[in-house]
Each structure stands twice: as structure tokens, then as C-alpha cells.
A and B are shown apart, each in its own frame.
Chain A
Amino acid sequence: MKPAPFHYVRPETLEDALSDLARHPGEARIIAGGQSLVAMMNLRLAHPELLVDINGLQELDYHRVDSDMLCIGALARHAALAASPLVQKVAPLMSAAYPHVAHSAVRNRGTLAGNLCHADPASEMPAVMLALDARFRARSVKGDREIAATDFFLGPYTTALAEDEMLVEIRVPVRQCGYGFEEVSIRQGDFALTLVAATLSLQAGRVHAASIAYAGVEGNALRIASAEKLLIGEVPSDALFERVAAEAANVIQPGDDMHADAAYRLDMIRTLTPRALRSAAATA
């Protein structure tokens, strides 16, 4: 399975990369790790006319904390983030999710930004970003803007990025909170049949803030506000978590595919939500 022909550029600066995107609206794709894109190109499911290779923009390969924000550059590789003590400290939900993300060779080259822009509906990181209230900085020749993760994922393989925009930085607020991550997949490392990413913070034994994000269930990763609301002000308990799970199962309308039908996904929502919330409560 070989890809169709394309033009290739390897800009030396971010400005050049953005110009390349601006000059070829709708026809250019950024390639960083390529772990999702090249597979689709080999299958001829994607045929970009121009590949803009940003692997030369080494200044984008970073992750650091800056005024209570974990800032992750466009070229930060999954492997570095997964192994990072800093990430484990300030965003442990990411570290908890990483063992489920593909395999070591894919994590070596694949980037977090690339994964988020690919927006596979069953991928782990979009849900993790939603649960962490991440914000994404998009840049084009026209300027910068910040997009909340909750506004970023519009549908399967569809994001809010404009054709000439590049995701240059991911910003995750550093918060003290508990976290929980549960996933069911056919084999470890496969895309999720259902996954739940949750955070919980407690004040005086009651839930002060909570986030619950799902992926693998509908067209893109999503948070269920009505389920989260049920937690606020309550004392964590199994009964509470069951109610939250039931609400999520009420709201989400899962799809059917060869590997899991809606009934299975609803069961997983009901089963995995309490497990994730229990972990989150225990680490809060």
C-alpha cells in the first residue's frame, strides 16, 4: 500500500511553515510524527498535495511549567511526555493514560499535538485534554488564537483548526486534584472501545470540582456536564458514582461498529465511570 505522490517542504522556521499552509489552503498537511497521517496516506485514505514537515522546528519540542500551566510544544513526542517526571507531577492523568496509547515505536515519533489534530474518536489524549480543561494555541499567518479543548473536537477526525492554522502549543492548567483513567480495548494499545478520563478535587470531604470525559463512544471525545454536576457538593460514594454513570449513559448515544455495539458501550460507560471516579477520589 503506497501513498499517492505529493509535494514536500521542510520549513526551517515556524513562519515559513505557516506561510506554506496559507499558500495551499485545504491541500497542505503538517507532518510531525506521521504515525496517523502516513498510515492513512499508505491506505490512500488521505491524499495531501503538500506535506509540510515541521520536524526541523526543534524549538517546538518542549514541555515545561510556566505560571501554573504545563506548556507543551507542537513537536513534543509522546515518549518524552510519557516518561516525564514533570508531567507525572503536574498532570498525572496524562501519565496514567499513556500506557494505553499505541506502542513504544509509535510513541517515539508521534507527537501529542499531531494526535490531537488527528482527532480519532477513540484516541486517549483528546479525552484527557478535555478532562484537564486544556487550552490550545493555534497560529496562522494572520495571528494567534486560543481554543478551549472543549471547543476543539468537532467530530471524527475534525477539529476547529482553520485550514491555514497550526496547533503550536497545548496548555494544561496545573491543578491539585485526583485523577482516574479507565479504558477497555480489544488488545492493550488498541483504540478504545470506551474510555473514561476523570478528575476530582475535594474540599472538606466534598467534591469541589470534577471533570469526566469519554472517548470511543460517539463521534469525538466529549465531556458530560450534567453528569459532572451531580458530583458537585457531594461526598464521594459508590452510590453517587453509579448515579453519575447512569446520567452519562443517559446522555451519550453511542455508535455501533464491528467491535462494539451501542449496548456494549453503554455498559462500559456504566462500568468504567465508577471505576475512574473511585481512582480519582482516592488520589484527590
Chain B
Amino acid sequence: MTEEFHELTLTVNGKRVQRRVPARLLLSDFLRQDLHLTGTHVGCEHGVCGTCTVSVNGKCTRSCLTFAIQLQGCEVSTVESVGTLQKMHPLQKAFWEKHGLQCGFCTPGMLMTAMELLAENHAPTREQIADAISGNLCRCTGYETIIDAITAAAAEMREMETQA
């Protein structure tokens, strides 16, 4: 069978994107190769490790289990939208402070998962954080400092909210 192409229009990190893509192009490859957003990483391509996690219409999604063409009209956010070197998100600052990463490969997926959690739950317990990241594998840290980081970020975000 030959490759079948489709028109695709969607929003990625706030920018409208229009492309012609093969039906079978995975969202992970679309983001990394077509849009050069290499912050999203690929670990297993069968939906177990969570490294490829991005946000689709505000919900965490494994980009290796999604075809790009399924997201017509959708809003996709990747780690590149979370913060920058000059303006880090409290989550990124907290991961940095608390040593919530070593090799950094699982980190974008962890950050996206944490973003979804903190949007829904401003004061998660450590158990709730663990449940939220249970589908994100990390081979380096042993997870404890990741939970420390998310806990600290939640506290800082609550503080910022009170001040605002």
C-alpha cells in the first residue's frame, strides 16, 4: 500500500500549524521531525514508558500512541511551552533545585504530567503525585526527588496565587 497523505491543521504551543502528513505519522515524530520540537523524547514507542507525554487539549497523552492526523483542530502543548532559560516555570525551577533529574530524558514527560496534575490539584499529597506519575518511567532518580520537586512547585504556585 502506498503512503496516504492528509491535510492537517492544529495549534502547537499556541502557534497555528498547517502541514500535509502521512496518515501513519505518529504525533511524536510529527513534533520532533516536522516541527523540530525535539524536547519531546521517544523511549519505547509502545505506550509504556511515558517519555513521549505531551498535552492534547489540556490532557496528557502518549504521543507515540497518537497519529498526528487524529488531532485536526486540536491544541497540543509540549515541554517547550512550559518555560524558557530566561523564564522558567516554577516546576522547572523546582526540578532544578531538588535534583529531580539526572539524564533528563524522561524529564519533559514528567513535566507535562506534573503540569496536568497541578492544574487539577493545587495541593497534591505525595501519594497523589505518585499516582499521577506512575505511568512515567525514570531509570535514574528513583523518583523521590521528582516528588520532592512537584511538591515544592505546588507550594510555590500556591504562594504566587495568594500574592496575586
Contacts and interface: CB of A to CB of B under 8 A. Distances in A.
Direct contact of A and B (CB under 8 A): yes
Interface of A: 1-8, 10, 31, 34-35, 38-39, 42-43, 49, 51, 53, 55, 79, 99, 102-106, 108-109, 188-189
23 contacts: A1-B46, A2-B26, A5-B1, A5-B2, A5-B3, A6-B23, A6-B24, A8-B6, A34-B67, A38-B26, A38-B65, A39-B65, A51-B23, A51-B67, A55-B70, A79-B59, A102-B135, A104-B116, A105-B50, A105-B60, A108-B59, A109-B61, A109-B62
Contact of A53 (B53, B70, B131, B136): B70
Contact of B113 (A4, A31, A105, A189): A105
A-B pairs with lowest CB-CB distance, top 3: A103-B135, A8-B23, A108-B59
Contact of A189 (B64, B65, B135): B135
Contacts of B134: 103-104, 188-189
A8 B4 contact: yes
A85 to B, nearest CB: 15
Question: Chain B: interface residue count, which band?
Answer: 20 to 34
A104 B47 contact: no
A188 B134 CA distance: 8
Contact of A38 (B4, B22, B47, B132): B47
Given A38-B65, A104-B60, A5 B47 contact: no
Contacts of A103: 50, 134-136
A192 to B, nearest CB: 16
A43 B46 CA distance: 7
B4 A39 contact: no
Given A105-B113, A108-B61, 20 more contacts: A1-B46, A5-B1, A5-B2, A5-B24, A6-B1, A7-B23, A10-B69, A34-B70, A35-B65, A38-B65, A42-B26, A42-B64, A51-B67, A99-B131, A104-B60, A104-B132, A104-B134, A105-B135, A109-B61, A109-B65
B9 interface: no
B145 interface: no
Contacts of B46: 1, 39, 42-43
Nearest to A8: B23
B86 to A, nearest CB: 29
B38 interface: no
A188 B66 CA distance: 24
A108 B119 CA distance: 15
A61 B17 CA distance: 27
Contacts of A5: 1-4, 22-24
B45 interface: yes
B72 interface: yes
Contact of B70 (A1, A3, A31, A49): A31
B45 A1 contact: yes
B135 A104 contact: yes
B47 A39 contact: yes
A106 B67 CA distance: 15
A5 B1 CA distance: 6
Interface string B1-40: 1111010000000000000001110100100000000000
Given A6-B23, A8-B6, A105 B1 contact: no
Contacts of A2: 24, 26, 29, 45
